[in-house]
Amino acid sequence: METAILIPTFNNAIALANCFKFLHNLEPQPSLYIILENNSIDKTLELIIIWKRHHPNTQLIRLWFRKDAVQVLGNPYAMIGTIRQILLDRARQLDPNYAIFIDDDIFLGNKDFIERITGWHKDLVGAPYLRKFPEGMFIASKWINVNPNRKEYAYTLKRQACGFQEVYMTSGGALCISNKLLQDKRVNFMPILTNEETSEDFGYCIKARKHGYKVYLDGTLKMGHMIRNTGNKAWTINKEGKYIDFKYPESKT
């Protein structure tokens, strides 16, 4: 079975170094690593070059975005959506059995992560790591709301996930995609679903569901996520280099 791990990274050398430690310990290793680096000015590129020396099954894609790229593109998720789409397209060319997105600030607590997440034989499976939402820290997934307020709030958030379960959408930070879905060119990260007011990865899940796929979360996995203290994102800056005010679309628990 061929697997490809897809890693987007930008100016995040400390987290990436730790991410690499966990990836290095995976048993079995993936068939291929594809890293997309976005014009970093810290030691990110240096780390990748060292990584490649010890992991020759690594491909590196380098991009450069202008500083006001998000503002020009008109959507705060457009740049990361473009990055994920390029990684997705490269994986399509290589045609592995599974493509697995792992963000540079995600840590894998299971050495057999690849066997576990692919072993369900499902088309779209996420992993349960925490991230910041406007309401606080929750798993980076959304469930269909079955509570009395479901007419007002269609989705709900949770702080724990037990076992293997279906969710409505899950995050691209740790996302396993089967070859069937990978090669389904109707389902992409770009363009962003602006009418849904959602992120590029949640939007990908929504598109997948619209074409008959189900979305799952593997709550048996041990995951870590290095969360920065600032609520600002590195790509949300204006032409003067100042952070713009941006919040994720709200959900209710």
Q: Give the start-to-end residue ranges of the domains of the chain.
A: 3-225
Q: What is the pLDDT of residue 23?
A: 98
Q: What is the pLDDT of residue 242?
A: 53
Return the C-alpha torsion angle 86, 91, 92, 95, nearest 10. 170
- Strand ranges across the sheet with 141-144: 155-156, 141-144, 169-170
Q: What is the pLDDT of residues 182-192, one digit of tens each?
A: 999 999 999 99
User: Is residue 232 over pLDDT 70?
Assistant: no
The percentage of the chain sitting over the pLDDT mark of 70, rounded to a whole number, equals 89
* pLDDT(240) > 70: no
**Whole-number percent of the chain with pLDDT over 90:** 72
Report the predicted TM-score, pTM, of the whole model to 2 decimal places.
0.89
What CATH architecture does domain 3-225 belong to? Alpha-Beta Complex (3.90)
Over range 218-229, report the average pLDDT: 89
Q: 3-state DSSP call for residue 109?
A: coil
